[in-house]
Amino acid sequence: MSVEMHAKQNDLMTELTHGPSGSSIRTVPPKDNGGDASTFSPTDLVGAALASCAITTMVLIAKREHIPLGDPKGRVEKTMSEAGPRRIARLSLHIEMPEGVLPQHRARLEEIARGCPVARSLHPELQVPMSFSYA
């Protein structure tokens, strides 16, 4: 996988293009860091990647293991550090599981989400609480 990046200094905007597909996204800094918050910030993408990875991994394994899952939804809350160098201090992820997820599959699906590749790649000092609710 390759990503090409192009920055526009005056706009504080970076455009990223995914090599294989040609799709693109833009990032700008958040307001508290000099940007206009008109789209995702780079640190927002870290939180989005965590949520997407957790849900995608659950869907992949559920399909592979014939576990009825439906369409889960997620919400991630990002908290930046207040002291020291600017960094993400906490990514709180909540996943709403759809109706029909059987109790005997819940622990397995939660384990899959918590062990997704993005979650395993984050710095150990980053707090990453995950919670789940069931319809």
**The dihedral sign for the CA sequence 66, 69, 70, 72:** negative
pTM of the predicted structure, to 2 decimals: 0.92
- Provide the 3-class DSSP secondary structure of residue 44: helix
Q: Which helix (H) or strand (E) holds 55?
A: helix 42-64
Q: Which helix (H) or strand (E) holds 5?
A: strand 3-8
Q: Could you report the per-residue pLDDT of 48-102, keeping only the tens digit for each?
A: 999 999 999 999 999 999 999 999 999 999 999 998 899 999 999 999 999 999 9
Domain 42-134 in CATH 3.30.300.20? The answer is: yes
Interatomic CA distance for residues 45 and 56, integer angstroms = 16
